[in-house]
Chains A and B, each alone.
Chain A
């Protein structure tokens, strides 16, 4: 009893000495780490935890990250949001992984006034879900036009076939953006073919795409389906390059598809070689901590955690406030973030709560690695 009393006093002493926060601010991490979603969820969780470890180590703010597994479905995301908001009383939420989950779960946070920062939701309309929804992941609506323009120049494109997963909000949104951009660039769509999340055999769709005789195949898919598509395409003798959406943004695709991934063109928010000091610090620490290469999702998650921590710092939270006040202050502070140094470059939060990322990339797989696609 006596010890507990002393322990309770300790933070006060610490506060007096360094003016550090009294109690940690609770931040919920809604990530799918089980199920097929884990290909994205694992690096995202790693990025979050690494960032909070470093930030807590610096001592300016104290954050208590609470990790909850959403799985890959909408219902899982809703359950996790309910738990984080009501039982854990978190001040902010990072996640969920998929745009389809964000559309389902974010409204709960909006209703409760809880700030949400998406780090991997790239579908159209995410910040428009409500006044407390932000994101640091450059939307596909920004990323895809660049990919299409660069690919058009590099491959001299005039005719493509389009394949997309019509069972997921993100891949459908990606498809629509692709279709618009292709049209704007005067590239003819020879055929549009769909498949569903969970399929394993794509030979029917690929045979049909091949018969349309395209110069390239544009795909909006998640990583698992994307990998299988690449492998099966090469087995069917399809040699034209693939142009993928954000779902392809994963070095694991290269590992799994091997030579079949060669020539894949993807728009990406992050490349390992980005030269900023923050990126080097992230890259090195990630490799040391997890013994593997970080990818775009890890970098975006790290950035999201950085943005939330910066907002908590700017709001001057000590952890002693009532959670409602914490939530309101974080929402206000998130709006003030401009030119923050992150692994993604200097990013800002715009008035519409979407991210402004000045530098994004178009990468191509060459020799088993993503390298920036140069256009002369």
Chain B
């Protein structure tokens, strides 16, 4: 029982990281129907920016987090401006955007290698709140709780932003029909730029949290694992759906961990992606996706 509980904690913790990554991923998809494969690179750069602030500029954690958030957000705006907007203006296919995003990812990862090097880095231990709570034989870290709380808060906040505010209304209008929205006077490019800012800022925060959760994992390549798992999470939850992304991420995390514990660790990815395949066959819109699949 204690082992099961510990594994549940591990699974929720892993899942909340997937969810955090998937939130930003699904936002851009929901609005623009672009699968932005540069998102993993943005996550890494967010984490690396925070590293420079913590280890280089010796700032506190709050400043580093804000810096990574803003830096990654601006990077997202830049990516849209340089890579996706020209394609939109030419009315290029979604496939072109997908391939372009792979190119952006390659460029970013290689630039990051030049700036930060290739060796995995750790945040200075003093800067990271390393506290552990033990109940019986189950260990939970403060960071794990923090990540989970943040994911839930961000999910609720994003939903409120999309459903309750004028900006959210504009985003949804653009998502629904870009042409009509523009004709009605919506500042299309600004709405898109803001969406990229928000999505990438979330990616940056995710990067910092991954870096804190797994000391010694901060590197230009740290996003790679999350790209595939995050994509799986948003497909599982329903493409473009914010709540679905979080539930999808948590389901992936808990599922993977339980497979390791109770089936066979070698089948972890096979079962995870097998389930994904089943979802695609049986319910192509995902667990929460509607037929339109475009809630955000």
Residue of B nearest to A38 (CB): B118
Q: In the bound complex, do residue B269 and residue A196 qualify as a contact, i.e. CB atoms below 8 Å apart?
A: yes
Q: In the bound complex, do residue B3 and residue A211 qualify as a contact, i.e. CB atoms below 8 Å apart?
A: yes
**Residues in chain A near residue B269, CB distance under 8 A:** 196
Q: Which of A141-149, A230-238, A310-318, A344-352 lies at the binding interface?
A: A230-238
Q: Is B86 an interface residue (CB 8 A)?
A: no
Q: Which of B10-18, B158-166, B175-183, B198-206 lies at the binding interface?
A: B10-18
Contact with B along A18-43 (1 / 0, CB 8 A): 00000000000000011111110010
Contact with B along A180-208 (1 / 0, CB 8 A): 00000000000001111011110111011
Q: In the bound complex, do residue B260 and residue A204 qualify as a contact, i.e. CB atoms below 8 Å apart?
A: yes
Residue of A nearest to B262 (CB): A208
Q: In the bound complex, do residue A35 and residue B120 qualify as a contact, i.e. CB atoms below 8 Å apart?
A: no
Q: Is A353 an interface residue (CB 8 A)?
A: no
Q: Is A110 an interface residue (CB 8 A)?
A: no
Point out which of B11, B13, B219, B260 has the most chain A C-beta atoms below 10 A from its C-beta.
Answer: B260
Known A36-B221, A211-B3, A224-B120: A194·B214 in contact at CB below 8 Å: no
Q: In the bound complex, do residue B122 and residue A207 qualify as a contact, i.e. CB atoms below 8 Å apart?
A: no
Size bracket, chain A contacts: 35 or more
Q: Is A104 an interface residue (CB 8 A)?
A: no
Q: Is A373 an interface residue (CB 8 A)?
A: no
Q: Is A166 an interface residue (CB 8 A)?
A: yes
Residue of B nearest to A36 (CB): B221
Q: In the bound complex, do residue A204 and residue B10 qualify as a contact, i.e. CB atoms below 8 Å apart?
A: yes
Q: In the bound complex, do residue B118 and residue A36 qualify as a contact, i.e. CB atoms below 8 Å apart?
A: yes
Q: Is A295 an interface residue (CB 8 A)?
A: no
Distance in angstroms from A179 CB to nearest chain B CB is 14
**Residues in chain B near residue A200, CB distance under 8 A:** 210, 214, 217, 222, 225
Q: Is A249 an interface residue (CB 8 A)?
A: no
Q: When chains A and B are docked, how far (Å) is the Cα of A224 from the Cα of B216?
A: 8
Known A204-B256, A205-B260, A231-B216: A256·B266 in contact at CB below 8 Å: no
Q: In the bound complex, do residue B222 and residue A34 qualify as a contact, i.e. CB atoms below 8 Å apart?
A: no
Q: Lowest 8 A-B CB distances belong to which pairs?
A: A38-B118, A204-B257, A203-B10, A204-B260, A194-B265, A200-B214, A211-B3, A200-B217
**B residues in contact (CB < 8 Å) with A:** 3, 6-7, 10-11, 13-14, 17, 110, 113, 117-120, 122, 125, 132, 134, 137, 139, 141, 210, 213-217, 219, 221-222, 224-225, 256-257, 260-261, 265-266, 268-269
**Can you list 30 A-B contacts (CB < 8 A)?**
A35-B221, A37-B118, A38-B118, A39-B118, A39-B119, A39-B120, A166-B266, A193-B260, A194-B265, A194-B268, A198-B221, A198-B225, A201-B17, A204-B11, A204-B14, A204-B256, A204-B257, A204-B260, A204-B261, A207-B6, A224-B219, A228-B214, A231-B214, A231-B215, A232-B214, A236-B139, A237-B137, A256-B122, A256-B216, A257-B216
